[in-house]
């Protein structure tokens, strides 16, 4: 049975070298192309319909949860001050800090990858989805395909997609169509 290691840093990647590959989520930063034969990349996002804007309700529901991971991960890995450097970070962090200290960790992850929580909604109110093309695979079919091709050039050998929103079938079909051409 193959074993992939979910590794964010050099220590984890050193362990991954002893196994079959890397399971990466949200970024492949630090993974040199060709360093691993198998790099599975977990991603979120949505394929825009013709003339659909990033700030639309369907995009918020389908792409927003993946985009919110930028705040969740920054907070967990780099701390509260780092969140302030993100667009909408001030609003996101204010919502999180309003929670009792013993509830913050879980509060940050309410709805994680499934729906936006109160802090995520506060950030969305500022950004309106403008971060989705850089934090997820969101865009037109051609843009999503181009992004996937860039990931392949960076060493990704396998894509793992987690759809979100009220119509997962739509998300799966449009993502499949965008990536299989």
Residue 105 is encoded by which pair of tokens? Answer: 């960790």
The DSSP code for 49 is: P
Q: Is 107 helix (H, G, I), strand (E, B) or coil?
A: helix
**Cα 61 to Cα 102: distance, rounded to the nearest angstrom:** 28
- 77-113 pLDDT, tens digit each: 899 999 999 999 999 999 999 999 999 999 999 999 9
The pLDDT of residue 30 is above 80: no
**Cα 133 to Cα 135: distance, rounded to the nearest angstrom:** 6
Q: Is the dihedral of CA 76, 38, 143, 178 positive or negative?
A: negative
Please state the pTM of the whole predicted model. 0.91
- Report yes or no: 124 and 63 within 8 Å, Cβ to Cβ: no
The single residue listed with the structure tokens 């996002």 is: 45
Say which range, 21-25, 68-72, 137-141, 144-148, has the weakest mean pLDDT. Answer: 21-25
- Rg of the chain taking only CA atoms, in angstroms: 17
The single residue listed with the structure tokens 């309410």 is: 110
- At residue 8, the pLDDT reads 74
When the pLDDT of each residue in the chain is averaged and rounded to a whole number, the result is: 94
The pLDDT of residue 42 is above 90: yes
């Amino acid at each position: 049975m193959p074993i992939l290691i979910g590794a964010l840093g050099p220590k984890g990647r050193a362990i991954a070298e002893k196994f079959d590959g890397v399971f990466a989520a949200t970024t492949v930063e630090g993974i040199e192309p060709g360093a691993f034969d198998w790099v599975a990349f977990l991603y979120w996002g949505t394929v825009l319909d013709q003339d659909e804007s990033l700030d639309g309700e369907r995009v918020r529901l389908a792409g927003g949860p993946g985009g919110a991971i930028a705040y969740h991960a920054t907070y967990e890995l780099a701390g509260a001050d780092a969140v302030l450097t993100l667009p909408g970070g001030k609003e996101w962090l204010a919502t999180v800090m309003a929670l009792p200290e013993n509830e913050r960790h879980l509060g940050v992850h309410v709805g994680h990858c499934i729906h936006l929580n109160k802090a995520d909604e506060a950030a969305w109110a500022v950004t309106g989805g403008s971060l989705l093309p850089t934090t997820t695979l969101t865009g037109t079919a051609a843009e999503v395909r181009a992004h996937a091709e860039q990931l392949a050039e960076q060493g990704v050998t396998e894509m793992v997609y987690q759809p979100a929103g009220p119509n997962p079938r739509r998300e799966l079909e449009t993502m499949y169509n965008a990536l299989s051409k």
